[in-house]
Amino acid sequence: MRILALLLALQPVLAATGETTVARWQNDATGAFMLMFDDSWPSHFQVAAPELHKRGLTATFYINPGKGEYKVFEETWRNEVWQLGQVYGVHTMDHKGLADLAAARADLAQCAQLIREMVPGAPDRLISYARPGVPAEAWGISDEEEALALAENNLIDRPPFADHGAVYHFQTLEQMIGLADAAIEAGDLNYLIVHGVERIEPAWNYQDFWALDQDIFVPLLDGLAERVAAGDLWVTDHISAHQYQVERDSARVDLLAADGQEVRLRLSHEADPALYDLPLTLVTEVPAGWARVSVRQGEAEQTVETADGRATYSARAGADEIVLRAAD
């Protein structure tokens, strides 16, 4: 009898129907990765954005709307790049520095407003920010003043350039794709910051600043896309990664009901819902025999395949219940 009790105790505990976890990263990917492009270089819309779009990848492009290269191609930035699924970030108006707090407030507000006017979305939504690299004498504000100006404009400071720059810090494909593999290994977030990308066509007589060779850039994108397809990596923009982390870290899933017919849940988090409204990925144990699951939340509905008795799906925090049923 004692042996039987011991054997039973050693059996794996089966998860209960309705038991739900919030995935660490969207789509239950193991790690997350961000590509970021600085300074509004022409190669961003000539090479980078189209190649990203071909592979269904998203990056953040930090623009300087008052800088010469941007102004020449303003209509392209206004009407094309973001329509390829890319995201804009604030990099100051002209990349020349900020004299004082008043100048910072005016500059960052103007740049953020231009982005919000160009790209459809909530008028006060979060936007990513990257401090430009300028001489020390051109930067007349303290870190505290910079943080104040960011908060006033709903801007989120991205991770630093230090030790993450293509060409400047990393020169080989192995080094750059290694950043993504490190994110997967650690289950964490990593990133690469790019300036220019080599132009082959159109064949101009110069290359953009710190241009990354296409024989590195294109295989890098292919490698990232392969890791996404394998379910190992989420490649995203900075604000989406930030929103996911903030929402995930305070998320709560309440199980309202669970039986053989349906599972009902409610998802909430403690962040401001006006700014943090990105869907989270949930993983829910479902009854045996549910091969496909219909997930309804308010007017939204999705159907997903189960794996190992679990349904993986996206949901938004809020008042609407999440209802899972076996799909026909």
121 and 213 co-located in one domain: yes
Per-residue pLDDT tens over the stretch 42-99: 999 999 999 999 999 999 999 999 999 999 999 999 999 999 999 999 999 999 999 9
203 and 291 co-located in one domain: no
224 and 282 co-located in one domain: no
Q: State which of 171, 197, 230 marks the end of a domain.
A: 230
pLDDT at 185: 99
77 and 149 co-located in one domain: yes
Nearest 5 degrees, angle CA 269-CA 275-CA 281? Answer: 50
pLDDT at 15: 76
| Residue 12 pLDDT class (50, 70, 90 cuts) | very low
Q: State which of 180, 199, 230 marks the end of a domain.
A: 230
Question: How large a percentage of the chain has pLDDT more than 90?
Answer: 94
Local structure of 78: helix, strand or coil: helix
What is the DSSP code (8-state) at residue 13? P
Buried b or exposed e, range 25-49, using 16+ CB within 10 angstroms: bbebbbbbbbbbbbbbbbbbbbbbb
- Burial (CB < 10 A; 0-12, 13-18, 19+), residue 252, is exposed
Q: Is residue 7, in this structure, part of any structural domain at all?
A: no
Q: Which domain holds residue 106?
A: 31-230
105 and 162 co-located in one domain: yes
CA distance 151 to 115: 16
Mean pLDDT within 237-250: 99
Mean pLDDT of the residues in the chain? 95
